[in-house]
Amino acid sequence: MKYLVAASAADLDAKISKRFGHANYFLIVDPETFEFEVKTSVGENDPSRGIGRYFNQDIKTVIVGNIGPGIFTSMSNTGWQIYSCIGLTVREAVEKVRDGLVSALTASTMKHSIRNGGGGAGGGRGQGRGNGHPRNKR
């Protein structure tokens, strides 16, 4: 299975995008070989519609920074596991998720979708937020 990673640039050393729907790039990464394919953003105006192009690919894991409730529900309903890895590079995040060092989210990390006037974080971070976050390394 491959990972879909929301990234700020088109390489493995790019930071994880802070918001899923605002990601500049999506990398489809093989977690064993680190071979990857670059895709452009799904578009901030309707990320749930654009994400459909990945549903028929060999992807069951998604790595994001933050994610709103609408797209979280859409992806969860397909059986995808979603992980928050704020502040990490794509390579670091893929390694942590692959090695079981980050737990899958159980809810979106944002209360509302940005396009619906929301924006504050804290909408049920699940168990995954922070495991890879630099502030939580003590």
pLDDT for 16-73, tens place per residue? 999 888 888 999 999 999 999 998 865 555 444 567 777 778 899 999 999 999 889 9
- For residue 24, what are the domain limits? 2-136
User: Residue 20's domain is classified under what CATH number?
Assistant: 3.30.420.130
Task: For residue 1, count other CB atoms closer than 10 A to its CB.
Answer: 11
Total number of domains constituting the chain: 1
Q: Tokens 């509302």 appear where? A: 112
Distance separating alpha carbons of residues 90 and 96, to the nearest angstrom: 10
Give the model's confidence band at 115: pLDDT under 50 very low, under 70 low, under 90 confident, else very high.
Answer: low
